[in-house]
Structure 1
Amino acid sequence: MFPSFSYVTDHTGFRGTIKNSPSDFIVTEIEVPQHLLRDSRAESLQKAAGEPLEQSTPGPQQPNELSAESPGLLAEGCPGAVPSEQDTSRVGGDCSASPNKKQREGEPELKPDPGEGHILDSLLGKSMSERLHQFVCGLKDTWDRDRDAGGGGGELSLGPVLDKKSRASLHSAVRQQFPFLVTVTKGNEMIVKGNGDYRELCQLVSEKETSDFFKFLDAKLEKSTFSFEPDGDKEHRKVVHHFINRKFGKLLETKSFTVSDVNDQPNMSIMVRFREKGWSRKRSAGGFKEKQDLYTDFSYTGIKDKKAITYQPMVVKKVSPERLKEIGSKMEKKGIRIHNVHSACQHLRLGQLKGNHFDIVVRDLKHHSHDCSADLKMRISEAMENVETKGFVNYYGPQRFGQGQNVQTDQIGLALLNEKMVKAVKLLFTPEDTDDPVNNARRYFLRTEDAKGALVMLPEFKVREKMLLRALHRYGVNHEGCTKGWLNIPHSMRIFYVHAYCSKIWNEAASYRLKIYGSKVVEGDLVFSEENAENISLNDKVHVVTAAEELANKYSINQVVLPVVGHSIKYPSNKVGQWYHERLSKDELQMCKFRVSPLQLNIPGCYRPILKKVQNLSYFFEVSEKGIKVEDNHLNESKVSLHISFDLDPSCYATVCLREIMKCDF
């Protein structure tokens, strides 16, 4: 991995092999408790109300979840249940009262759905959510007392919500749980009040139909339809038609069609659908543009090891839970098992996880060649205790750079930072020493610069290379053409290479820092005094250690951070800072602004703790053959495997932790 890089511990270690099979390396994502996903949204609402922040206990972890995100619900928010349009128990709130007493007589009592209540609790905080429920009950009482109240009943402020996406999440969550409410924004303030249109429709059809209709309206699902109950009264159907056309005619169209009623007799029903124009075209700067194909989006919080069994939540947009369950057996044939399928009201974002739990098997246990000890078990126990106490150097792992490849990703990132576009393309297409379709296509392209021919040779799964080749075929393999080629792949892919280079520099800086200063905090070091300082980006929270603070041993090595290079970070004011400048000069980046304008890349930089702790570390030995025993605390080499279990924070690498434990590179 990093043969010459420093360690923070001083034990001897041992040898062994990892990832002999995927089942030897199991990764389970540790989810962020749902109450923490509220982040600033609930906090800002509660602060506006002058109330203390709510505390809640996280629920049990449910790994390997694959959720379906309803596009009509929250684009951002918290995981929770999506209401079924046909489930009457999911309409309304804590109060069973409805806007029209006469029409609800004889109907089942309406009760809240626990999942929906949890959504609003997460977005608003429990106290503000309770205020909203009290407002709902008061509104319904007002409507019951005064049939001419229209949408009256007052209004309630939910406080300021500064983030646009957070406002959209809250708008949708309120309307889905309380379709008889209207949500509006005044400045950044969220206001809720009674929906007069809802109450008017309740005078024409049942409240269940009204509630289901407004949920259908709010979801805005492409090609979806909504049908009212069969209605043999032509004049009444005419009134309903007129109401919908008058209120929602620009968005919806209605049609009566023949259906069978509950007695299996022919009857008429009103069907509502969204007007085709709103879905088939969208306005662009040049006029109308035909609608592009819709793609199913997967979102997740972290990238996992390739050779491993991994469990993590995923959200699939525009796919129902029922559909996911239907295709479960087909997915399993491709090596993917889907568990715990349920609806969610938000997509997932990279980094939105608490960490990862690892269950790892190390096989072929041996002493290091320089180790004369006969007690391998003692060596392993010593290593575990040392790393559990002192932690490990928080290097970026080899998978960040393309382990074992002829050209690593950081080399491409350096070429992009130097705006050597043609060189970056040729580095990307440098083949490995194997004879297969992918590498044959790469060799052909480097030899001929025939982008079209290479495009035909590449397999379909090489999406990134194909996108690049299409642009090169059109614009040519020159500086301008290669620049347009890089622009033809998604921004997240372009910046990935630059981040790999920045990570490599950080690794080298961390090793240098430990070699010259060890675990002592010295003048000029950068420290971050708050807890959970992962990937900090706030310069005002990063402090430069003074001589007096070094003398007083004010800080520990666990508080030391190093910058991941970018345009908005500051460097240590000791030898490490000097090292950074010399290292960047070596790569011709001494004047680099870490902005590559032609590729729309902007790299502000951040800070990363030099050391990390391993949590919940445990281990045991397993004999691989019957009849062989572990006696007198001695292990029979290669006959016993080591099972290790531990938790790591986000952005930490298990292979790096194992390197510190075993004192060997993989």
Structure 2
Amino acid sequence: MLGVQLRSFGFAGTKDKRAVSTQRVTVFKQQASKLAALNKRLIGIKVGDFCHVKEGLLLGQLYGNRFTITLRGVSAESEDIIKASAVALGKHGFINYFGLQRFGSSSVPTHLIGAALLRGEWKAAVSLILDPREGEKNAISTVREYYKESGDIDGTLRQLPRYLVAEKAILQCLKRSPGNYLQALKAIPRTLRMMYVHSYQSYLWNHAASMRVQKHGFDQVVLGDLVYSKEEYKVKESFVAECEDVNDNNMDDYSNLDEISETDLPEERNIPVKVINEEDLKSGTYAIEDVLLPLPGSRVIYPSNDIGEVYRDLSQKDGISLTETAHKIKEFSITNMTGAYRRVFQKPKDFEWELLSYTDGTIPLAETDFDVIANSVKSKVREEDPTNGSKELPADSSAISVGGDMLSGKVRDEKINNEAGMQSEKSQSGGNAEESQMALKLSFTLPASCYATMAVRELLKTSTSVAFHKSLND
């Protein structure tokens, strides 16, 4: 629509396509009026609040995200149980696991591909990416089966959905250089191929975090734990970010990644840490929220207690060394990565919760930022007159411009009133009345690379497995 390349745009992080999200985006040398005009053509997106800035945004410059999540159909033996769970989440936080987004929702988790890359098994990695998988759409399964049985690259490419970027890149390279599996893997956009290795780091971290809680609980620091060194560094929340996920919802959807392949993932942070000793335990200087675990790399240290062995044992079972590389390809080597540290427990910031009741599941229980703008029409319909005070504007002029798109306050009010009326009618019409249900509305802020899904998991005590999450869509 603008006639510019995707690299002209800058953003600090990706957002979940299933969410209604708001974020800052920069674009190089464009006029606000031209951008505002797009609102008449864009579907499912609005732009506005334009201003000039000296520099564009870069991936990784994100402090964090503010979430508003409404959980419908909440049930418990009593409201007190729900309230107690919400209070506990705000007070104690949650285990800071990497979420399902980090590993993908297919039957072939991305960390398995990452493990093959770290072992230098190029052909195996290619097979994991291309081979048929359980649970995929029939159209995709058919294409994968066709290639596995026929080896027909041209025929497969003609049928391959455009969003399967990795598969497309591999096949195009194998067509030019048959049997060169390493080169085929390097043909995958850098952002995407590095995601495979990062997901293996995350896999090790998640397992170590589970063992840390299982062996030592979640209420005290123990000998050998890692913490930020308070003597050397004042902790900043921004340092909990390691690298942004390529996609914050489904790792099988790689659309447009070929356009941003030259944008590297942000550098992994390396900040001063220390190992807890007896003196630290006696002084009580450090609390459980200070405890860290490393993402493997060449510049990190590991806990000196039994959790350090968890990393080594699990990676050895996968045929991977954390200190030596199995090949000479640096980008597919843990020893070539800096590594990073991540809090084991994360408390949500500015945590708020509200217990609601509703009867109509189609009526929103939370306002989006766009709703807030639309509702502000009511405060704009009265114009200040310098001589006579305020005066009412004509009904047909009670509209404001939102990024070039007109929103009628009158229409908006009628919509709200109609929804309220429908709700009221249903509650008053005996046989047709729907049973009242409870909903829990949560609002909180998390640092970059922390997952709201893991906070909700802690609240609901639900599984993080792929199978469970897929069942929610059935």
Report the TM-score when normalising by structure 2. Answer: 0.69
The alpha-carbon distance between structure 1 residues 637 and 606, as it changes in their structure 2 partners (threshold 3 A), is: farther
The alpha-carbon distance between structure 1 residues 446 and 524, as it changes in their structure 2 partners (threshold 3 A), is: same
Within 5 A, what are the aligned runs for 1:59-138?
none
The alpha-carbon distance between structure 1 residues 318 and 484, as it changes in their structure 2 partners (threshold 3 A), is: farther
Alignment match, 2:358: 624
- Whether the aligned pair in 2 keeps the contact of 1:622 and 1:642 (CA below 8 Å) is yes
Alignment match, 1:531: 235
Within 5 A, what are the aligned runs for 1:371-450?
374-375=77-78, 377-403=79-105, 405-429=106-130, 430-450=132-152
- Whether the aligned pair in 2 keeps the contact of 1:300 and 1:349 (CA below 8 Å) is yes
Q: Secondary structure at the match of 1:578?
A: helix
Q: Deviations over 1:459-491 (max 9, x none)?
A: 233333222211011112x3xx11111111222
- Whether the aligned pair in 1 keeps the contact of 2:296 and 2:322 (CA below 8 Å) is no
Residue 307 of structure 1 pairs with residue 18 of structure 2:
yes
Return the match for 2:50 from 335, 341, 359: 341
| 2:199 maps to amino acid | A
Distance in 2, matches of 1:588 and 1:358, equals: 39
Q: Deviations over 1:116-136 (max 9, x none)?
A: xxxxxxxxxxxxxxxxxxxxx
Alignment match, 1:483: 182
Q: Secondary structure at the match of 1:523?
A: coil
Distance in 1, matches of 2:447 and 2:277, equals: 29
Return the match for 1:360 from 65, 69, 72: 69
Q: Deviations over 1:311-352 (max 9, x none)?
A: 111123354433322322222x2x222122333332212221
| 2:214 maps to amino acid | K
- Whether the aligned pair in 2 keeps the contact of 1:300 and 1:314 (CA below 8 Å) is yes
| 2:299 maps to amino acid | S
Shift of 1:595: 8.5
Residue 543 of structure 1 pairs with residue 277 of structure 2:
no
| 1:455 maps to amino acid | L
Count of residues paired in the alignment: 357
Shift of 1:567: 2.1
Alignment match, 2:339: 605
Alignment match, 1:263: none
Distance in 2, matches of 1:398 and 1:449, equals: 32
Q: Which has the higher contact order (CA 8 A, sep 6+)?
A: 2
Shift of 1:436: 4.1
- Whether the aligned pair in 1 keeps the contact of 2:348 and 2:444 (CA below 8 Å) is yes
Distance in 2, matches of 1:449 and 1:304, equals: 36
Q: Secondary structure at the match of 1:543?
A: strand
The alpha-carbon distance between structure 1 residues 484 and 614, as it changes in their structure 2 partners (threshold 3 A), is: same
| 2:201 maps to amino acid | C
Distance in 2, matches of 1:637 and 1:565, equals: 51
The alpha-carbon distance between structure 1 residues 607 and 446, as it changes in their structure 2 partners (threshold 3 A), is: same
Distance in 1, matches of 2:64 and 2:271, equals: 26
Distance in 2, matches of 1:349 and 1:435, equals: 34
Distance in 2, matches of 1:319 and 1:599, equals: 39
| 2:284 maps to amino acid | N
| 1:451 maps to amino acid | I
Structure 1: which 5+ runs fail to align? 1-67, 69-292, 368-373, 630-635
**More displaced stretch, 303-312 vs 599-608:** 599-608
Name the larger-Rg structure.
1
Alignment match, 2:297: 566
Q: Deviations over 1:439-470 (max 9, x none)?
A: 32222222233222211111233333222211
Shift of 1:559: 1.0
Q: Deviations over 1:366-403 (max 9, x none)?
A: 23xxxxxx31x101110111121111111111111113
The alpha-carbon distance between structure 1 residues 592 and 543, as it changes in their structure 2 partners (threshold 3 A), is: closer
Q: Deviations over 1:508-548 (max 9, x none)?
A: 10110111111321111111033224248676711011123
Q: Secondary structure at the match of 1:527?
A: strand
The alpha-carbon distance between structure 1 residues 494 and 597, as it changes in their structure 2 partners (threshold 3 A), is: farther
Shift of 1:363: 1.0
The alpha-carbon distance between structure 1 residues 535 and 641, as it changes in their structure 2 partners (threshold 3 A), is: closer
The alpha-carbon distance between structure 1 residues 618 and 517, as it changes in their structure 2 partners (threshold 3 A), is: same
Shift of 1:650: 1.3
- Whether the aligned pair in 1 keeps the contact of 2:153 and 2:175 (CA below 8 Å) is yes
- Whether the aligned pair in 2 keeps the contact of 1:363 and 1:640 (CA below 8 Å) is yes
**More displaced stretch, 520-529 vs 441-450:** 441-450
Distance in 2, matches of 1:345 and 1:596, equals: 43
Q: Deviations over 1:555-610 (max 9, x none)?
A: 11111110001222111111011111111111111365468643634422111111
Q: Secondary structure at the match of 1:661?
A: helix
Alignment match, 1:35: none
Alignment match, 2:168: 466
The alpha-carbon distance between structure 1 residues 353 and 596, as it changes in their structure 2 partners (threshold 3 A), is: farther
Distance in 2, matches of 1:465 and 1:319, equals: 34
Residue 316 of structure 1 pairs with residue 27 of structure 2:
yes
Distance in 2, matches of 1:641 and 1:295, equals: 40
Alignment match, 2:248: none
The alpha-carbon distance between structure 1 residues 422 and 318, as it changes in their structure 2 partners (threshold 3 A), is: farther
- Whether the aligned pair in 1 keeps the contact of 2:111 and 2:197 (CA below 8 Å) is yes
Distance in 2, matches of 1:400 and 1:294, equals: 27
Shift of 1:358: 0.8
Q: Secondary structure at the match of 1:311?
A: coil
Residue 647 of structure 1 pairs with residue 445 of structure 2:
yes
Distance in 1, matches of 2:436 and 2:113, equals: 40
Q: Secondary structure at the match of 2:352?
A: strand
Distance in 2, matches of 1:387 and 1:496, equals: 30
The alpha-carbon distance between structure 1 residues 538 and 623, as it changes in their structure 2 partners (threshold 3 A), is: closer
- Whether the aligned pair in 1 keeps the contact of 2:223 and 2:278 (CA below 8 Å) is yes
The alpha-carbon distance between structure 1 residues 652 and 296, as it changes in their structure 2 partners (threshold 3 A), is: closer
Alignment match, 2:256: none
Alignment match, 1:521: 221
Q: Deviations over 1:125-158 (max 9, x none)?
A: xxxxxxxxxxxxxxxxxxxxxxxxxxxxxxxxxx
Alignment match, 1:5: none
| 1:482 maps to amino acid | Y
- Whether the aligned pair in 2 keeps the contact of 1:431 and 1:443 (CA below 8 Å) is no
- Whether the aligned pair in 2 keeps the contact of 1:363 and 1:638 (CA below 8 Å) is no
The alpha-carbon distance between structure 1 residues 583 and 380, as it changes in their structure 2 partners (threshold 3 A), is: same
Q: Secondary structure at the match of 1:303?
A: coil
RMSD: 2.7
| 2:51 maps to amino acid | H
**More displaced stretch, 460-469 vs 494-503:** 460-469
- Whether the aligned pair in 2 keeps the contact of 1:539 and 1:570 (CA below 8 Å) is no
The alpha-carbon distance between structure 1 residues 438 and 297, as it changes in their structure 2 partners (threshold 3 A), is: farther
Shift of 1:298: 2.7
- Whether the aligned pair in 1 keeps the contact of 2:119 and 2:326 (CA below 8 Å) is no
The alpha-carbon distance between structure 1 residues 338 and 394, as it changes in their structure 2 partners (threshold 3 A), is: same
Q: Secondary structure at the match of 2:21?
A: strand
| 2:225 maps to amino acid | D
